[in-house]
Amino acid sequence: MTRTVVYNLIQLLFVIGFGPLYAGVLSRFKENVQSKRGPSIFQPYRDLWKLFHKDEVVSSETTWIFRFTPYLVFVIPLFVASLIPVLTDYPLAFAFMGDMLAGGFFLALAGFFAALAAVDTGNPYGPMGASRTRMVGFLAEPVFMIVFFTVSFVAQSTIPYIVQKKWVASPAAFFSPAHILLLIAFFMLILAEGGRIPVDNPSGHFELAMIDESKGLEYSGRGAALMKWGGQMKFLVLTCIFLNVLLAPWGLADDLQPGHVLLAIPLILIKILLFTVVLVMIETSLAKLRLFRISEFLGAAFIISVAAMIASIFSTSAV
Amino acid sequence: MAGSQTQLIEGLNALSAGLILLTAFGMVATRQVQGVMRFFIVQSLFLAASAFLIGFNRGSIHLLALGAITIAAKVIAIPWVLKRTLPGDLYERREINQVINIPSSLLLALLLAIAAEFLVSPLLATTADPVIHANLPIGLAGILIGGYSLIARREALPQLIGILAMENGAFFAGIAIAPDLPLIAELVIAIDVVLIAVVVGVLTRNITQTIGTSEAASMSELREEPRP
Amino acid sequence: MTLIAAIFFPLLSALLCWFKPLRSIVWGITVFCLTISFAMAVMTAGQVLRNGNAVAIPGWIEVDGLGSLVLLLVTFICTLAAIFAGGYMRHGSQSRERLWWFYSNSNLLVFALAVVPALASPNLAWVGVELVTLFATLLVAYESTAGALEAAWKMAILTIMGAPIALLGFLVLYWAYHSSGGGTAETWAALSAMSSTMSPNLLKFSFLLVFVGFGAKVGLAPMHTWLPDAHSQAPTPVCAVLSGIKTTVPLYVILRFLSIILASPEARIGNWMVVIGLFSVGIAAFLLLQVHDYKRMFAFSTVEHMGIILVAAGFATHEADYGAVAQMLNHSITKSLCFYTAGMVLMTLGTRQISEVRGLFRTSPFVGGALLLCSLAIAGAPPFPIFLSEFSILSAGLRSGHNVAVAILATLIVVAFVAIMRHVNGMLFGKPEATAPVERVPLSCRTAVLLAAVPVVVLGVYIPGPVHSLLELAAQQLGGH
């Protein structure tokens, strides 16, 4: 019993610790593919260290939302991380605290507060970015829901650990058309929610075109560090959901031995590295979509997820 | 061993079915003429893959041959022939004015896929073969979605590719439900498909030269109106 | 042997037309080969009457009564069209150099048309019908004017769109045949024998697909929109072939399929056929009222008659089947005559508009007389053959209890009659336009018209014994015996 609690804490520490590394590897690799040298993969750690040692400047026109949001954005991915399989195959201590829908709502909560905080400052760029983020968010919500529903329908459960067991169980389920369509829909969703190309340019500095970056514009010092870190952790959590629940649920520890759990850490890092390769390939070969095309992009993701749902309904009713 | 191998093959076949459905959606969703052509080539590749898989599973030589014919005809020959016979600037076109915008088109395509599943469910009740369960509904969906993309397009080349995509759908269903069709029939059918492409390509070229644009929807002279 | 000759002579002629030194006599080659083909088809029909069927390659190429009737029609109409084409193409403004391409393509079209009734396997019949569509499309686009290209494009898209749908239908039929234990040779006859054991769901589904797929080619409403354009923009001999036989051949395939499915007691398709047929006749009849181009008028009349044949097949009694095959025969010969006449009017006066043609009797008595004859014939007046077959269809319908359908059909036929005669009256009588240029009709065209008029006049009053026997045999096959 205590072991599962300990493993859960190790899981949280993993997410906290490796979030910035993931972002660092991603940006370094992207620069390498574009024949540039790129920053060191540990640069995000140095950035966070620097930011924590700086003074914070907070506008006097803001309310408690502005000051509260960075903590919320930092903590919520941790809540979600304790619900999903990151290192282990079996449910841990806090796994039944909530299911996938709860995870989705948590992430939406964080996004909601970030948007509010951006509006709170009165800076013109904040609300602009916030409204765009909300547009992407509300277009992505149906896709989230349908993906979750389909996965739960097939696996007869909404707890991520149990869902993952079902996919691992049979190759028939792994190769079914519903599965591949779900993977593609969820991948498009990650691109949208994580603010990657083709939805948004994460390395752009042009405030008029920012969608996701705009939530951290007004922050400084500790607030900025927490917002940045929280964003990186959120992306890591989404990736873990994609990899461990949907795509490649292998390499996770399946018993209570501490050695296996610690062994799972490099294995999942390898999986994340391979995913990074794919992500970078996509990012460097596509261009950012114009704003009105984002609805087509997410519309396509919605259609694909509904097709997955239909395919899974028909295949289970036939069998 | 044979059991799990069969299961793996059936799984991979179902995978290619899902990917064919995806390419059918892609053909509806893209604006570029060249994009439609690329989705068609990918769809033909998956069709050939499915033919190879089913042929390998049943030990049927002519399904393997059919897969090879599909690759030769649809992946290599038809795009090449079309590139040679049609004027070059046809490929750089994009559909700016659409009859129905893309998200609605995608929604309609989804409804057609659902309709296909409903239409074939009484037929699927007669058999338990998982290959037929995967291929038949998606084949019919491919036909319906190809037909829709044919109607919704204005440019001539995507309309032609819509016809060929419909043929892909018919074949995809056919390799599952009629795997021992005599090879001669399949050969002739494949030749027929190439012929269709050639003829419609020739027409497109003539139209582009005579009318000046390849937008087939702009031809609307013949009507029941008295000539002045 | 005669069967193979009947089918392959047009192919031979097509190949000969490609040869450079022979290009100057393409017309002669075509007429010669097609006449031989027609003679072979007559001999094959004789063989069928004696033996019940004619087999060339068992399981692949064989004809029974219905098939040999269609083959006979194909060769007859195409031979006459070839004769007509001689004068027409010379009169046209097209250059001499492309003429060989026209004849070669026409021969290929004849070959494809002839091959469909002779093939015993339904899947190969699909291939034949597709080849027919392809060659016909190329011929419609022959003149390369904007109107012709538009018509060819619409025809190509609408008819080829049905091809994969029909293909899936045939594949499902094959599946049904095999899953109820059929042998390796899937022929029409074998399908007919097994029809009561095949699963009715599969049969219905495959028939639906084939009907939708080929229905566009036949010109059934609402997929008929390409038909008036294509059948008016093509060169006249091609129009005669298109309206006369090209829409009948896919209908032949559909009717064969219908006979298989009607033998299975659980699938009730007959009433649906009646409804769809009536819909086509209705649309055609009303469109005939407001047509402005006389070639389009004849094209709409084709839609109407295809609908009538479908209604007759839907009644599903032996007399109705006899009426259906008789209507097929009579419509083909009458419609080709109509188009030859239309071609002559076009050659004489140079315009396609009804409103611009006046006083045809005075301008050219021969053309005027031919137009009067053929429009009375196609509208269904006695003493012409279409009157006989329509009457037998109506009476068969009454006898089998489809009173409402017969009433609607009779009304619509009358509407179409009135529409056609009103237009033709305007064209024939009155004062001719003073400034209209008049050209003489070439001899080959007059010959073709006279030859085509012979069966139209004769069959209205007297049906020769062998013809009647052949029709009986075909009707039996349609009924599924």
Question: Residue type at C19?
Answer: F
Within 8 A of B170 by CB-CB distance, chain C residues are 164-165, 167-168, 171
B 10-29 near C (Cβ less than 8 A): none
Residue B170 contacts C where some CB pair is shorter than 8 Å: yes
Q: Are C45 and C69 in contact (CB under 8 A)?
A: yes
A-chain residue closest to B118, CA distance: A314
Burial class (CB in 10 A: 0-12, 13-18, 19+), A6: middle
pLDDT exceeds 90 at position C162: no
Q: Are C151 and C171 in contact (CB under 8 A)?
A: no
pLDDT exceeds 60 at position C131: yes
Question: Residue type at C60?
Answer: W
A 169-208 near B (Cβ less than 8 A): 171-172, 174-181, 184
- CB-closest option in C134, C160, C205 to B123: C205
pLDDT in tens, C463-478: 888 888 888 888 888 7
Lowest mean pLDDT among A94-103, B207-216, C65-74, C337-346: B207-216
pLDDT in tens, A245-272: 888 777 777 777 788 888 888 888 999 9
B-chain residue closest to A310, CA distance: B114
pLDDT exceeds 90 at position B81: no
Query: Which uninterrupted H or E stretch holds C57?
Result: strand C54-57
Residue B216 contacts C where some CB pair is shorter than 8 Å: yes
What is the full DSSP assignment across A21-49?
Answer: HHHHHHHHHHHHHTT-----TTHHHHHHH
d(CA C31, CA C49): 27
A-chain residue closest to B10, CA distance: A172
Residue A248 contacts B where some CB pair is shorter than 8 Å: no
**Which subunits have 3 or more CB–CB pairs within 8 Å of chain C?**
B
Residue A95 contacts B where some CB pair is shorter than 8 Å: no
Q: Are B9 and B57 in contact (CB under 8 A)?
A: yes
Within 8 A of B114 by CB-CB distance, chain A residues are 310
> SS3 of C358, please?
coil
Residue B22 contacts A where some CB pair is shorter than 8 Å: yes
pLDDT band at C219 (very low <50, low <70, confident <90, very high): confident
DSSP label of B155: B
**Which subunits have 3 or more CB–CB pairs within 8 Å of chain B?**
A, C
Continuous H helices in chain B? 2-29, 33-58, 61-70, 78-85, 102-124, 130-152, 156-177, 183-211
Query: Which uninterrupted H or E stretch holds C59?
Result: none
CB contact under 8 A, C171 and B178: yes
Question: Residue type at C362?
Answer: R
Residue where the block lists tokens 């660092």: A24
Q: Are C1 and C9 in contact (CB under 8 A)?
A: no
CB contact under 8 A, C287 and B210: no
Asked if the structure places residue B49 within a domain, the reply is: yes
- CB-closest option in A175, A181, A296 to B11: A175
Nearest C-alpha of chain C: how many angstroms from B93?
19
Asked if the structure places residue B145 within a domain, the reply is: yes
Q: For C31-55, what is the mean pLDDT?
A: 85
Residue B192 contacts C where some CB pair is shorter than 8 Å: yes
Q: For A190-205, what is the mean pLDDT?
A: 82
pLDDT exceeds 50 at position B80: yes
Q: How many domains does chain B have?
A: 1
Asked if the structure places residue B180 within a domain, the reply is: yes
What would the two tokens of residue A281 be? 């390939």
Instruction: Give C293's strand partners.
Output: C353
Q: Answer yes or no: is the ipTM higher than 0.85.
A: yes
Within 8 A of A172 by CB-CB distance, chain B residues are 7, 10-11, 14
Tell which wins on pLDDT, B156 or B51.
B51
Residue B5 contacts C where some CB pair is shorter than 8 Å: no
Is there an interface between C and A (3+ Cβ pairs < 8 A)? no
pLDDT of residue A318: 46
B 174-213 near A (Cβ less than 8 A): none
pLDDT in tens, C422-439: 888 888 887 776 655 667
CB contact under 8 A, B7 and A171: yes
CB contact under 8 A, A177 and B133: no
Choose from A150, A174, A180, A183 for mutation: most chain B CBs within 10 A. Answer: A180
Domain extent for B200: 2-216
Q: Are A252 and A87 in contact (CB under 8 A)?
A: yes
CB contact under 8 A, B113 and A171: no
pLDDT in tens, C303-346: 999 999 999 988 878 888 899 999 999 999 999 899 988 888 88
Q: For A53-82, what is the mean pLDDT?
A: 90
Nearest C-alpha of chain B: how many angstroms from A193?
20
B 81-120 near C (Cβ less than 8 A): 119-120
**Which subunits have 3 or more CB–CB pairs within 8 Å of chain A?**
B
Helical axes C99-118 vs C122-140, angle rounded to 10°? 160
CB pairs under 8 A between A and B: 70
C-chain residue closest to B207, CA distance: C149
Residue A142 contacts B where some CB pair is shorter than 8 Å: no
pLDDT in tens, C256-280: 888 888 776 655 677 888 888 999 9
pLDDT in tens, A201-215: 877 777 777 777 777
Nearest C-alpha of chain B: how many angstroms from C393?
31
Query: Which uninterrupted H or E stretch holds C63?
Result: strand C61-63
Domain extent for A238: 2-318
- The overall average pLDDT reported for chain C is 84
Lowest mean pLDDT among B181-190, C288-297, C359-368: B181-190
Q: How many domains does chain A have?
A: 1
pLDDT band at B39 (very low <50, low <70, confident <90, very high): very high
pLDDT exceeds 90 at position A236: yes
Lowest mean pLDDT among A103-117, B94-108, C21-35: B94-108
Q: For A209-227, what is the mean pLDDT?
A: 84
pLDDT of residue B228: 46
Q: Indicate the pTM of the whole model.
A: 0.84
pLDDT exceeds 50 at position A319: no
Q: What angle do CA C184, C185, C188 make, to 5 degrees?
A: 140
Residue A237 contacts B where some CB pair is shorter than 8 Å: no
d(CA C148, CA A189): 50
pLDDT of residue B90: 66
CB contact under 8 A, B11 and A172: yes
pLDDT exceeds 90 at position B86: no
Asked if the structure places residue B224 within a domain, the reply is: no
d(CA C121, CA C67): 13
d(CA A126, CA A207): 9
Instruction: Give B215's strand partners.
Output: B155
Q: Are C150 and C91 in contact (CB under 8 A)?
A: no
Q: State how beta strands C61-63 and C54-57 pair.
A: antiparallel
B 129-148 near C (Cβ less than 8 A): 139-140, 143, 146-147
- The overall average pLDDT reported for chain A is 85
Asked if the structure places residue B42 within a domain, the reply is: yes
Asked if the structure places residue B95 within a domain, the reply is: yes
> SS3 of A315, please?
helix
B167, B179, B90, B88: which is closest to B127 by C-alpha? B179
Q: For B160-184, what is the mean pLDDT?
A: 83
Nearest C-alpha of chain B: how many angstroms from A135?
16
